[in-house]
Amino acid sequence: QVQLVESGGGLVQAGGSLRLSCADSGGTFSSSAMGWFRQAPGKEREFVAAISYNGGSADYADSVKDRFTVSRDNAKNMVYLHMNSLRLEDTAVYYCAAGRWVSKQLGLYPYWGQGTQVTVSS
């Protein structure tokens, strides 16, 4: 069974950087596309970024393009989200998810982590 655990969240000043990590304890990580989503209080969970099973392709939400970078290390069963030039509106709980293919749709990711809080201060 796929189990995902996010880490690396915390408090960071606007304009700063942060790296989130997601570890998969299951045995099928290398065959799964991995997505990052975020949710702020009172708002719907939204797509942030995703990467294909082999890291060959990636997709980003318009709001984070040129600021965030998603990567993965299948040998370590890890996926990362490097966040640069952080803004106040980036404040949210960030979730990693595993699915069959890269998608912006939440419903196409059967497995989810518990989330990690990212707070951007002025």
* Mean pLDDT, residues 22-26: 87
Q: SS3 for 88?
A: helix
Residue 34 has pLDDT above 80, yes or no: yes
Question: From CA 26, how far away is CA 68, in angstroms rounded?
Answer: 26
pLDDT-based confidence at residue 26 (cuts at 50, 70, 90)? confident
Q: What is the pLDDT of residues 60-75, one digit of tens each?
A: 999 999 999 999 999 9
* Residue 86 burial class via C-beta count within 10 angstroms: exposed 0-12, middle 13-18, buried 19 and up: buried
pLDDT of residue 111: 94
For 23, the enclosing helix (H) or strand (E) is strand 18-24
Could you give the CA distance from residue 76 to residue 50 in angstroms, rounded to a whole number?
18
Neighbours of 67 (CB within 10 A): 15
**DSSP character string of 32-49:** SEEEEEEE-TTS--EEEE
